[in-house]
Structure 1
Amino acid sequence: MRYINFQKWQFKIIIAIIITVFSVGCKSKTSKEKEVEFVQKTNYISFADDVNFMKNYIDIIQLSDASGKSKIAVAPALQGRVMTSSSSNSEGRSYGWINRELFKSKDTLDHINVFGGEERFWIGPEGGQFSIFFKKGSSFTLDDWYTPKLIDLEPFTIEKSSANSITFFKKASLVNYSGFKFDFDIEREVKVLSTQEAFQELGIAAEDKVNVVAYKTTNSLTNTGEAHWEQETGLLSIWLLGMFNPSPETTIVIPYNSGDEADLGAPVNDEYFGKVPAERLIVKENTMFFQGDGEFRSKIGLSPKRAKQVFGSYDALSHTLTIVKYNKPKGATDYVNSLWELQDKPYSGDVINSYNDGAPKPGEKPLGPFYELETSSPALHLKVGERRTHIQTTIHFEGSAEQLTKISEKVLGVSISEIVNVFSNK
């Protein structure tokens, strides 16, 4: 009995030593190794790292708010594109997706040069008889699809700048598929907002201890030609696209106007690249959820009757809530249609879109990966000398789930918990 009791006593001591050693090891991992694992899992790249990389290839202009904490990087050579941003100084997370491989190649591609960036200026429509991506008489196939150099490789001129804003200008001409020539001026202002202005933009009270970066772009086209822009010969639209870093836990959240399909049409167009699988797109009564993991090529869009003026995404790994707000003119129903075909309804296009990257075919390499949040202006009926403007605000919030829920519930109508759990049963 004494022998057995002595063995139990020894065993307890050994277990206690093991637990102590293991606990010390865990504390060490929490302070160092766990941080490394988190960085690797979330593809963490700092704002400074992205900016320093891009400076090897193009000029980058940095703008910031008065505190210097909220920063964005803008590229004049890429149409005044907002390449990336940070809510936590230069060492904070870089939110925009940057195509480092293309920059490093120093190559120029024929069809499109996908340099990335979290808000780029584009013009629609992409497809149809009034397309500016297909020449007259060409087939609506990838071989004949070319992004106009105007919105792909040509620089915009800086008109004026300050510590928190910059304004660009470009005199432009484009010819559409039907042969109509557009002559116009482009003006694009990019402005960093203060934290207070960001919350005011959303009409909600400010939340303390949340890192914020927000910027607003004001984009205008002026008809400088000799003919009015008419539906019969084709119209243009201002199209803004943001490319963001995906993660396995990123969910795109789109509030929409609910109601009878007979009156409002289908809630979502989910057949751009083939119908989106049900486990990747969940449509509830007032909100739809779309995966932004960069692992399955798919795209969705909302019509003017369904779209609201705000949508966004949440990355549960980096605790980042992204909100995009834009001006949607009341009563506007004509939006250019970008489907790659001769169209019966060329002005029945979508107002907002979201794209999730992935391999085009099994075994092929994805373009990014990234995910996109996009908005469009209505089709622009511009008389000679007339001007129209499309405004978009992008805001990134980093904070705890509890803090971000106060924002997401007011802006998107759902809590962070609802967002995180919506695909939990996939």
Structure 2
Amino acid sequence: MTCSKWLWHLSLVCCICAILGQMPIARANEEQKGSGMSYGQVRKYLSQHTKILELVNEQGGRVLICPEWQGRVMTSSCDGLQGLSFGFINKDFIDAGQPNPHFNNYGGEDRFWLSPEGGPFSLWFKQGVDQVLDNWFTPPALNEGAWTVISKPRDPFFRMYRRMELVNTSGTQFQLEVTRDVRLLNDSDVKHLFGEDALAAFQSRKVKTVGYETVNRVVNAGEPMAKDKGLVSIWILGMFNAGPQTVIIVPYKQGDEATLGPVVKSDYFGSIPPERLKILPEAILFLGDGNYRSKIGTSQKRAKNVAGSMDFQNNVLTLVHFTMPE
């Protein structure tokens, strides 16, 4: 693949978290509510452990980025410092202060990885080893080191850069130049992504919102890539707070299974109990309470470019919009 093609091969992720004033609240027992941290508390905590960057708007939207932790977007809030912090923060790992070659799991709403994870061209397993969990290691280029901030102080975004060297399980070496932009979304972005009705709802006084975009670009700075030696693709991952009344919503394209594949793959870690996974005519519902190790997926032919979750306990709707191959 030529460098010019890789300049345009990017992943765009937009996360909009809205507190819905008129959404019916499902009641929970007091002991189930937990102790969610405010954005200000998370901000103070993270600033004691690493350098932080922030994007802020006049409506109370705030986004916190940690360039030293591989350029992660760690958290966001739609209600200023006192607002709920939306990103999962792995305090146990951070407090321990011990790097883990398998995975430095700081948490965070948006991090940059590369795939494939497994198979003959895996980036996670060395040559000749069994592809089992004990031999699974995040490539150091993705797991360690700071990203360099190259945006200017007056830019309305943060741009970070990292040069990476990786080797897949077939021995193919990659030299990559990666840039990553993070910016707050505005009204025109919301209208473009979700339509005028959504914009009107977000602009009402009963709804508070924060939206941001990450744009991730990979340029091949090494030898031309070949399919028979392995390729790489952008893989963006997000970690959000679980809750006893949080439901993940995955819309999908309807159609014949022989053509599009099964609606959902749900046996990554064994079968999922039916009360935790529901397939509706247009969407997959998946319980996000964090009490059961499970994972779901759907085929590229069925996937739409949006997914989300609803936290009925805190009245928080999260939407993730992303680019897909044409």
TM-score by length of 2: 0.86
Give the one of 142, 167, 172 matched to 1:180: 172
* Equivalent in the alignment of 2:125: 134
Name the CA distance, whole Å, in 2 between partners of 1:198 and 1:53: 31
Which structure carries more relative contact order (alpha carbon 8 Å, separation 6+)? 2
Which runs of no fewer than 5 residues in structure 1 stay unpaired? Answer: 1-36, 331-426
Is the partner of 2:296 in helix, strand or coil? strand
Name the CA distance, whole Å, in 2 between partners of 1:260 and 1:201: 28
Deviations 1:269-311 (Å, cap 9, x if unpaired)? 1111112222111111111100100000000111111100111
The question of 1:329 aligning with 2:325 is answered yes
* Equivalent in the alignment of 1:223: 220
CA spacing shift, 1:38–1:196, aligned 2, 3 Å: farther
Name the CA distance, whole Å, in 2 between partners of 1:196 and 1:307: 25
Name the CA distance, whole Å, in 2 between partners of 1:61 and 1:38: 35
CA spacing shift, 1:38–1:198, aligned 2, 3 Å: farther
Deviations 1:147-197 (Å, cap 9, x if unpaired)? 112111221110104474100111111000000011110010001112553
Matched residues, percent identical? 38
Task: State the number of aligned residues.
Answer: 292
Residue pairs, 1:159-308, within 5 angstroms = 159-161=150-152, 162=154, 164-195=156-187, 197-205=189-197, 206=199, 207=201, 208-209=204-205, 210-226=207-223, 228-308=224-304
Is the partner of 2:107 in helix, strand or coil? coil
Q: What amino acid maps onto 1:306 in structure 2?
A: R
Deviations 1:93-149 (Å, cap 9, x if unpaired)? 000000111111111122111100011111111111101110001111122111112
CA spacing shift, 1:38–1:193, aligned 2, 3 Å: farther
Q: What amino acid maps onto 1:266 in structure 2?
A: P
Between stretches 163-172 and 78-87, larger displacement belongs to 163-172
Return structure 1 stretches of 4+ with deviation > 3 angstroms. Answer: 37-40, 161-164
CA spacing shift, 1:195–1:204, aligned 2, 3 Å: same
Which runs of no fewer than 5 residues in structure 2 stay unpaired? Answer: 1-28
Residue pairs, 1:99-118, within 5 angstroms = 99-118=90-109
CA drift at 1:264? 0.8
Name the CA distance, whole Å, in 2 between partners of 1:299 and 1:85: 24
* Equivalent in the alignment of 1:78: 69
Name the CA distance, whole Å, in 2 between partners of 1:112 and 1:157: 21
Name the CA distance, whole Å, in 1 between partners of 2:55 and 2:308: 23
Contact 1:122–1:238, Cα closer than 8 Å, also in 2: yes
Name the CA distance, whole Å, in 2 between partners of 1:302 and 1:260: 14
Contact 1:48–1:90, Cα closer than 8 Å, also in 2: yes
* Equivalent in the alignment of 1:412: none
Deviations 1:366-385 (Å, cap 9, x if unpaired)? xxxxxxxxxxxxxxxxxxxx
The Cα RMSD (Å) is 1.6
Name the CA distance, whole Å, in 2 between partners of 1:185 and 1:256: 33
The question of 1:123 aligning with 2:119 is answered no
* Equivalent in the alignment of 1:61: 53
The question of 1:97 aligning with 2:85 is answered no
Deviations 1:210-240 (Å, cap 9, x if unpaired)? 10000001001111112x2122111111011
The question of 1:146 aligning with 2:137 is answered yes
Name the CA distance, whole Å, in 1 between partners of 2:160 and 2:83: 27
* Equivalent in the alignment of 2:10: none
Q: What amino acid maps onto 1:273 in structure 2?
A: F
Deviations 1:36-66 (Å, cap 9, x if unpaired)? x97971532100100100111100111112x
Contact 1:82–1:118, Cα closer than 8 Å, also in 2: yes
- Greater C-alpha radius of gyration: 1
Q: Quick check: which one's helix share is greater?
A: 1
Is the partner of 2:318 in helix, strand or coil? strand
